[in-house]
Amino acid sequence: MIDIQAVMADFAIRQAERQADAQLELQHLKQEVIPPLREAGVTKVEVRFDGGGDSGAVEECACFDAAGTSLPCPEARVEPYISDNADEANQDDSATLSAALESITYLALECHHPGWEINDGACGELVIDVTEASFVLDCQLRYTATDDHSTRL
């Protein structure tokens, strides 16, 4: 017989571990992406995402200089986050800057808007002010609403 309370307790422990690991990875990647962006003259990054119907994705990563001119994402490498819980055989020893920017977006969504891709989903963007090294996640959660009326005639 399955002890549902033990299963739920184990699940809660694993969820808390994943949440803590996601926060550590997010902080690591935030520090890693700023120097190569600055070196390339990028002052702002906008990473747009959209999700719904149980799937979602980063749609675009746009980089801009101080004048607002679009720049290609620099082809730089960043040091990946190595989790204490990760399988070392599946670890890549380097990651691209564009992959790191995508990962930051997914991690921010996981930490702050879990389920952003479910049902009506959500859309928005992660805006990185490279000069200030600030990260702002703008997320518009979508939902279906009804406005029910009953009138006795």
Count of Cβ atoms closer than 10 Å to residue 77 Cβ: 15
Phi first, then psi, for residue 56 (nearest 5°) are: -165, 160
Longest dimension (CA), the chain: 72
SS3 (DSSP) at 59: strand
pLDDT-above-70 percentage for the chain: 93
Model confidence pLDDT, tens digit, residues 34-60: 999 999 999 999 999 999 999 999 999
> Quick one: DSSP state of residue 41?
T
Residue 26, Cβ neighbours under 10 Å: how many?
Answer: 20
How many CA within 13 A on the CB side of residue 17?
10
User: Mind listing the pLDDT tens digit for each residue in 103-138?
Assistant: 999 999 999 999 999 999 999 999 999 999 999 999
